[in-house]
Amino acid sequence: MLNANDRLVYHGREMNRRCKAALAQAEDDLGYELTIFQGGFRPVTSFSGSTHTGGGVVDLSAWHWQEKSRALFDAGFVPFHRTEADGDWEEHIHCVLAGDPTLAASSAAQVESWKNGRSGLVSNGPFKGVRYVKFSKNFHTFDWPQKPKKVPLGPGERVHTIISRTHSHEEPDFDSEPVNLLTRGKEKTFKAKIRHGDIHWFQTEEGNWVANTKTRPGRGLPKRDSTD
């Protein structure tokens, strides 16, 4: 029988089956393969301490880290963006699979640190990664700073192509539920946007919302209607 805690090797690094599945989901979402610097079941090291001794933890290359962070959150990881200023390492994304029962106690503590808005480092600084709300009731960490304002789209912004498989959601807030699965490559017409921090959301004609990191402008400019 397959077990989610089974140890295996994925992209040359050790992890458990659950962690591999979560990475594969993020890769499917992003549309490219992730480069893994370090997996789990590692010895204690000077730079990672004991955080990589368990199963649900990986270090990824920092390239594209903001977009990756969103895909990683969606897959259940807490992605910590580590820069060279943060420690004796190269820039990378330290990813902890929240709730994985094989996590080292020190990595499970990093998830708790993130829930409190902290970095998970010994210095206990603020979390500096992407402010992103996971659409799950388990991850009520960040509050929306203010009620978002709906802004109409310019004509060139209306038609977007979905760049990765994603859901559209109810009005984005902590209790938003996915309501519609959108497939990659599909064209959608949006009618408004809101902004939370550095995340824009586009409103579909049905009144749902899609993070615009999951879309890009369509090729043809749509027809303008008389109210523009």
| Chain positions contacting Zn ion, by CB under 5 A | 59, 94
13 vs 94 by CB, closer to Zn ion: 94
On whether the CB atoms of residues 120 and 110 are closer than 8 A, the answer is: yes
The residue behind tokens 């599945």 is 21
100 vs 157 by CB, closer to Zn ion: 100
Structure-derived torsion over alpha carbons of residues 31, 36, 131, 45, reported in degrees to the nearest 10: 170
Taking alpha carbons only, the member of 220, 210, 141, 140 closest to residue 170 is 210
CB of 93 to Zn ion, least distance (A): 8
Side chain identity at 101, as an amino acid letter? P
Taking alpha carbons only, the member of 45, 73, 59 closest to residue 213 is 73
120 vs 172 by CB, closer to Zn ion: 120
Residue nearest to Zn ion (CB): 94
CB of 178 to Zn ion, least distance (A): 29
CB of 58 to Zn ion, least distance (A): 7
87 vs 218 by CB, closer to Zn ion: 87
On whether the CB atoms of residues 168 and 208 are closer than 8 A, the answer is: yes
Which residues are bridge partners to 93 per DSSP? 60, 81
CB of 149 to Zn ion, least distance (A): 38
Instruction: Phi first, then psi: give them for residue 47, nearest 5 degrees.
Output: -90, -30
89 vs 142 by CB, closer to Zn ion: 89
CB-CB neighbours of 11 under 10 Å = 14
The residue behind tokens 């946007």 is 193
CB of 12 to Zn ion, least distance (A): 16
59 vs 74 by CB, closer to Zn ion: 59
CB of 22 to Zn ion, least distance (A): 15
